[in-house]
Amino acid sequence: MANKTFYLYTLGCKVNWCDSERIAHDASVAGWTRVAVPRDATVCLVNSCTVTAHADATCRKTARAVWRANPGAAVIVTGCSAAVEEDALRSMPEIADAVPGSDSARIIAAMEQAARNAIGSAAGTAPAASPGKFTRATARTRVFVKIQDGCDQFCAYCRVPLARGMPRSIPMDDVIAKVRELDAAGVREVVITGIHLAGYRHAGHTLADVVSAVMDRTAIPRIRIISLDARGVTDGLLALFTHAGRLMPHLHIPLQSGSDAVLGRMNRRVSTGVFGDAARRFLDAVAGATVSTDVIAGFPGETEDDAAQTLKVLSEMPFAKVHVFPFSPRPGTAAAKMARQFVPAAEIARREHALIEAGRAAAARCRALFAGAALSVLFESRHGGAWEGFSQNWLRVRSTQPGIAHNDIRDVSIDGICNRFAPVE
């Protein structure tokens, strides 16, 4: 058998990153060695995303690029795009196999088969680090911890339920064990993530119960929650944020549209009123808190007035970040059947641009709120002589202060505000 070396490239959401870490760990246990570049690999994995048409196109483009970097390696696509585009991906000459989803046992079996099929390639001959248990080989200071997968909400634009299946939650004790493992490895921040976090249910436990247990039963310095449906902003969860310390005061709460009519067509189960109430309650209850969000431009049937209502929401709240997605019909979804209501592509692009500009303005207002404030920053990387990292409330901070090192958590005073950063002079 050819050398058991693999390269792994991850696309998409935080849950995909969690899946990739588990796949890499399980592969190392099975005797595989991860390498840093495709040319050194026997097998190249692309863990894919299918949230938009652009995501599917990026998956195909990445697979081709990886194959060009090492035509002797077997390229295997996994993840969400492989779950809904399996046959199309397998028909591509650059792709050796497509394994739907993130089941590491199935993926490793495909890797083993690809290694057996390797023919006279020099792939995988470069030296690499020995495989082992979890290490921070990527030097990441923040690690995603998946506690939930799958979704049964069936938003009209989304293929995630088709790709990831119905909801299931990870037992609380397993979550605690994972966080303790990361803490022992030197990780400073864990990000609690899932496809539909608000729907976490296991043995009677809710999301608030799991977060409370992580706070009480581990010593990890910083805990963050990401991408939470507005209905998940419960009194129990808010109470945890009000305790000083390790739960970071930032939430990403998806909006998608500022128009209740559009939200109804999207099959969203959150109105603009519920969204606004959740965001305001969080911002009012938690000192120094920030909120980020997602919006979609040009959903079928969206009128000029609908689009204006979304812009109005963005103008009224100081969002730390606004992610803007142009609508693209996803096969198998309800929205794909709304062809008669499709907004022209040029108009979608115009509305997307307006939302991006409104999002930038909202982020500038958010940063301005913290000019002169003292923030706790986890420094992660160095660029051009300055260290960069994220504050507890998810503001990107840049500092040229002496003595900072990778993975440091420091209290700093923000001296000014610029386009992307809150600088510390």
SS3 for 233-254 is: CCHHHHHHHCCCCCECCEEECC
3-state secondary structure 86-100: HHHHHCCCCCCEEEE
Most confident of 249-263, 367-381, 386-400: 249-263
DSSP state of 266: T
By the 8 A CB rule, do 256 and 295 touch? yes
Q: pLDDT tens digit string along 92-112? A: 999 999 999 999 999 999 999
d(CA 97, CA 82): 9
Global pTM reads: 0.88
Amino acid at 401: Q
Q: What angle is formed at CA 320 by the lines to CA 425 and CA 149, rounded to 5 degrees?
A: 125
> 360 pLDDT band (50/70/90 cuts)?
very high
d(CA 346, CA 155): 24
Q: pLDDT tens digit string along 287-334? A: 999 999 999 999 999 999 999 999 999 999 999 999 999 999 999 999
> 2 pLDDT band (50/70/90 cuts)?
low
Count CB atoms within 10 A of the CB of residue 203.
Answer: 9
Q: What is the DSSP string of 296-341?
A: EES-TT--HHHHHHHHHHHHHS--S-EEEEE----TTSSGGG-GGG
Work out the average pLDDT over 70-95: 96
